[in-house]
Amino acid sequence: MMRTQIQEEHMDEWNKYQDEMKLKHPEIFENASKIQSFYPETDRGATLIAAAILEEQLTQILYSFLSDSKSAKNF
């Protein structure tokens, strides 16, 4: 499938945004690069990827919150 000029411009803007974020906030860039993987996916595929990313981040948040407790060892 060929991209339209609008899609190309959007991708150029997205790439510039990624470069800025990579320098300013490397931790955010990691998530931005995951989001870019949604583009070639179907709606269902993008939803599954988003759910996996959210699950991973929630696990990290819970683990950091509970890291001093015995409950964290069950993760």
User: Model confidence over 25-58: pLDDT tens digits?
Assistant: 777 767 766 777 777 778 888 888 888 888 988 9
Residue 1 has pLDDT above 60, yes or no: no
Q: What is the count of structural domains for the chain?
A: 2
CA 10 → CA 1, 21, 54, 64, distances in Å? 16, 16, 25, 36
Distance (Å, whole) CA 53 – CA 62 = 14
Domain assignment present for residue 50? The answer is yes
Decide: 53 and 47 in contact? Cβ < 8 Å.
Answer: no
* Full residue range of the structural domain in which residue 66 is found: 46-75
- 32 with 1, same domain: the answer is yes
Q: What is the pLDDT of residue 55?
A: 92
Characterize 51-68 residue by residue with b for buried, 16 or more Cβ atoms within 10 angstroms of its Cβ, and e for exposed: eebeeeeeeeeeeeeeee
Shared domain check, 51 and 32: no
Instruction: Specify whether 52 is located in the same domain as 30.
Output: no
Q: Give the chain's mean pLDDT.
A: 78
Q: What is the pTM of this model?
A: 0.47
The answer to the question of residue 61 being in a domain is yes
- Does residue 41 sit within a domain? no
Residue 27 lies in a domain: yes
